[in-house]
Amino acid sequence: MPVEHSPTANRRKTNPLSFVNTNSASKRLRLSENLTQQSEKLNIESQDTMGTPESANDMFRQLLEGQAAIKKSNQSILEAINTLKSDNITLKKSVTTLQNTVSYLKSENSRLDIEIRKQNIIINGIKDFDGETKQELMETITNLLEEKLFLPGIKLDTAERIPRNYIASKTRPVKIRCLSHSNRNSIMESRDLLKDEESTQLIYLNDDLPKDVRIDRGILRRRMKEAIANKHTWKISYQHNTIEVEGKLYKVIDGELKEAKPKSSVTQTYVTPKPANTSTGRSTQ
């Protein structure tokens, strides 16, 4: 009997595993193609981003050069700052030196001014009148020296009134200049003879001092009066601008009376005051 061949019968006889193997191979092929495409895509994106290897090297080199430039700039800034600091220190030293120099020159100028004025005497209380001549004023001073101080023969260089425009009604003081220090000292040593309680015209003789010295001495005299009023012991030194009250030493500094260092430190710094410039328990001009 002849055998019949049919398509259906052939399909029934095909190995079922052959279909599975074919399908798996197809999937692997598609997966491989996808991976290849993705890899190419990544390579393209990487090239777009980084460019060629030479471009990457250029970028890296530029980055290093930029860092080196920044470092060099920072170093220059630090050097400039250090230079400014050094200049500032030098400037401060220069300012301190100038301040010390100015202070010394002021002190020296004051000392020279006092030295120039040493032969001068300021007389307060001599009545003046309109039209007074220099000769009349000189005769008035000469009579005062002879009749009140008993100093005949004292020769004066000049005698003149000191203007006081701010108080027109007040008697103007007289400034006289002696021809010698000895004449000047003789007059000042005899000034206590002018303290006549019965006289209606009080006359005072004082040193011719710069304004700042007069102010400092005024401060010392006010403190002295306070000490007298409180019955305190006191010792005043116009030479050193100091006054000692009840064992405490005070000094006039920049127009103010301030407590000074202990006496032990002061005596090491200053020379012994002259009797004419130092007074204990009494006021001196």
Closest listed residue to residue 119, CA positions, set 156, 152, 146, 163: 156
Decide if 17 is inside a domain.
no
pLDDT of res. 212: 85
Please state whether the predicted TM-score (pTM) of the whole model is above 0.85: no
Q: Does pLDDT of 277 surpass 80?
A: no
Q: Are residues 133 and 215 in the same domain?
A: no
Decide if 2 is inside a domain.
no
Taking only the tens place, the pLDDT of each residue in 90-126 is 999 999 999 999 988 988 888 888 888 999 999 998 9
Taking only the tens place, the pLDDT of each residue in 20-67 is 455 566 666 676 676 666 666 655 555 555 556 677 788 888 888 888
Q: Are residues 219 and 233 in the same domain?
A: yes
- Domain interval for residue 231: 210-285
As given in the structure block, the two tokens for residue 140 are 């008035």
Q: Are residues 108 and 154 in the same domain?
A: no
| Cβ 251 vs Cβ 260: under 8 Å | yes
Decide if 95 is inside a domain.
yes
Label residue 250 by pLDDT band (50, 70, 90): very high
Decide if 26 is inside a domain.
no
Decide if 157 is inside a domain.
yes
Total domains in the chain come to 3
Taking only the tens place, the pLDDT of each residue in 152-207 is 989 899 999 988 765 556 788 999 999 999 999 999 999 988 876 566 568 999 99
Q: Which of 74, 99, 116 is the last residue of a domain?
A: 116
Q: Are residues 92 and 173 in the same domain?
A: no
Q: Are residues 201 and 273 in the same domain?
A: no
Decide if 21 is inside a domain.
no
Q: Are residues 149 and 223 in the same domain?
A: no
Q: DSSP string spanning 13-26?
A: HS-HHHHHHHHHHH
Q: Are residues 124 and 188 in the same domain?
A: yes
Q: Residue 255, by phi and psi: left (phi above 0), alpha (psi -120 to 50) or beta?
A: left
Decide if 4 is inside a domain.
no
User: Residue length, the chain?
Assistant: 285
Q: Which of 100, 116, 132 is the last residue of a domain?
A: 116
Q: Are residues 267 and 285 in the same domain?
A: yes
**What SS3 class is residue 276?**
coil
Decide if 37 is inside a domain.
no
Beta bridge partners of 237: 242, 278
Q: Are residues 129 and 204 in the same domain?
A: yes
As given in the structure block, the two tokens for residue 5 are 């061949």
pLDDT of res. 236: 92
